[in-house]
């Protein structure tokens, strides 16, 4: 699975004066270089995944110079952490990869006493399944996979994944994800099962469902499918809300619904690699990004949902009440974070080949 960071940026202008002037004593506390760590910090992150003034604002608030390194995908970051000698103090992997990195001892602990702004996290992200208690990670952005649709073509969207699969099976203009690791999880949700808990019977049932559906499906895009919806080539698509919002802002006929069986969820997370040379300074950047102003500078630029409730409250209504980023109806307790299971993903890929889908 790729990072959440894809698509177009739609920045909301927040001036440096607005951000720095709004920083409270609480958000500034401890924002000085940690004793013995100097005034430097090395961050590895996806390209264009900070606010336009984040580097300068953090430097002004803390005195810490931030060196930014980028990577193409989670696999590249993982390989660098496995190899060691990377020099990174803070990294931003996606949540399934966080689960793997924790399991393999690649991440150090988060000292909650050094991050008082953890109190700004929205409840679902304060104790996520991929890292219970946020012991090794702090959510940076999040996404929900649901149903995008054209209101003029589909006045009443399908209630859930089961209904969407039924529509696809009838030959209606539906696009489903081309990634087997996502597609099979959606099929499991449509069958009333967990997206992460498979046994041979459930895998066989999901494959049978997809065999009946895929011969009729309009498209299996690898890039989300939002452009297919924008161009009018499909009427419904299963995709991440952060991808859909880009085209929904261009075309008000496009909307988003969370299925009754629940969405698939993913986060990109702030993590300190095991053995990082400057963990104290890394904690200071984490705390800054969880402040209202620091988080707003990022969210208003990348236009993905933020788990930072304080940041959301100071962003314009255009962002904070956007019905694609923050759907009004979000069923509780049934959405699931995608888990890390390389063996299961390999079984999905094999099953996809049996279905003779490229």
The predicted model gives 249-275 an average pLDDT of 96
> Residues 6 or more apart from 113 whose CB is under 8 A from it?
none
CATH 3.40.190.10 domain range(s) in the chain: 16-142+266-320, 145-264+329-354
Cα–Cα distances (Å) from 156 to 27, 148, 149, 255, 335, in that order, read 44, 12, 10, 11, 21
Task: Read off the pTM.
Answer: 0.89
The proportion of the chain whose per-residue pLDDT surpasses 90, expressed as a percent, equals 84
Q: Is the pLDDT of residue 343 over 70?
A: yes
Give the model's pLDDT for residue 85.
87
3-state DSSP assignment of residue 149: strand
Cα separation, 145 vs 262, whole angstroms: 9
Give the model's pLDDT for residue 328.
81
Cα separation, 241 vs 181, whole angstroms: 18
Strand extents, DSSP E, 204-248: 236-240
Q: How confident is the model at residue 15 (pLDDT cuts 50, 70, 90)?
A: very low
pLDDT per residue over 283-325, tens digit each?
999 999 999 999 999 999 999 999 999 999 999 999 999 999 9
pLDDT per residue over 33-49, tens digit each?
565 788 999 999 999 99
3-state DSSP assignment of residue 336: strand
Give the model's pLDDT for residue 334.
82
pLDDT per residue over 128-146, tens digit each?
999 999 999 999 999 999 9
145-264+329-354 CATH fold? D-Maltodextrin-Binding Protein; domain 2 (3.40.190)
Residue 335: both structure tokens together: 């959405």
Cα separation, 90 vs 101, whole angstroms: 13
Cα–Cα distances (Å) from 49 to 82, 123, 164, 302, 347, in that order, read 23, 23, 32, 6, 33
pLDDT per residue over 99-111, tens digit each?
999 999 999 999 9
Give the model's pLDDT for residue 333.
63
User: Is 12 in contact with 300 (CB distance < 8 Å)?
Assistant: yes
> Residues 6 or more apart from 74 whose CB is under 8 A from it?
1, 2, 3, 93, 94, 96, 97
Q: How confident is the model at residue 32 (pLDDT cuts 50, 70, 90)?
A: low
Backbone angles phi, psi at 254, to 5 degrees: -95, 135
Give the model's pLDDT for residue 149.
98
**Host H or E run for residue 96:** helix 95-103
- Angle formed by the axes of helices 200-214 and 161-169, to 10°? 40
Q: How confident is the model at residue 16 (pLDDT cuts 50, 70, 90)?
A: very low
pLDDT per residue over 49-86, tens digit each?
999 999 999 999 999 999 999 999 999 999 999 999 89
Cα separation, 310 vs 291, whole angstroms: 7
Q: What is the CATH number of domain 16-142+266-320?
A: 3.40.190.10
């Amino acid at each position: 699975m790729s990072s959440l960071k894809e698509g177009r940026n739609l920045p909301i202008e927040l001036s440096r004066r607005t951000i720095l002037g709004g920083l409270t004593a609480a958000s500034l506390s401890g924002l000085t270089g940690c004793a013995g760590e100097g005034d430097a910090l090395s961050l590895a992150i996806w390209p264009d995944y900070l606010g336009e003034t984040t580097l300068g604002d953090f430097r002004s608030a803390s005195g810490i110079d931030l060196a930014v390194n980028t990577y193409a995908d989670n696999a590249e970051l993982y390989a660098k952490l496995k190899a060691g000698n990377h020099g990174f103090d803070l990294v931003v992997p996606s949540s399934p990869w966080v689960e793997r990195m924790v399991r393999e001892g690649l991440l150090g602990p988060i000292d909650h006493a050094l991050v008082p702004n953890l109190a700004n996290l929205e409840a679902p992200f304060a104790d996520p399944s991929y890292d219970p208690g946020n012991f090794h990670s702090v959510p940076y952005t999040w996404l929900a996979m649901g149903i995008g649709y054209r209101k003029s073509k589909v006045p009443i969207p399908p209630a859930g994944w089961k209904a969407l699969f039924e529509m696809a099976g009838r030959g209606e203009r539906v696009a489903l994800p081309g990634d087997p690791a996502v597609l099979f999880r959606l099929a499991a949700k449509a069958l009333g099962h967990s997206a992460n808990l498979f046994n041979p019977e459930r895998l066989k049932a999901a494959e049978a469902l997809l065999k009946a559906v895929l011969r009729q499906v309009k498209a299996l895009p690898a890039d989300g499918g939002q452009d297919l919806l924008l161009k009018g080539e499909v009427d419904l698509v299963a995709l991440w809300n952060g991808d859909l919002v880009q085209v929904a802002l261009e075309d008000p006929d496009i909307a988003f619904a969370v299925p009754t069986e629940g969405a698939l969820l993913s986060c990109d997370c702030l993590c300190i690699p095991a053995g990082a040379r400057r963990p104290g300074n890394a904690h200071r950047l984490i705390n800054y990004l969880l402040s209202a102003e620091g988080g707003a500078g990022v969210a208003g630029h990348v236009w993905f949902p933020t788990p930072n409730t304080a940041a959301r409250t100071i962003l314009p209504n255009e962002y904070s009440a956007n019905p694609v980023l923050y759907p009004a109806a979000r069923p509780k307790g049934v959405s699931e974070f995608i888990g890390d299971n390389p063996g299961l993903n390999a079984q999905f890929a094999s099953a996809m080949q049996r279905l003779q889908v490229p």
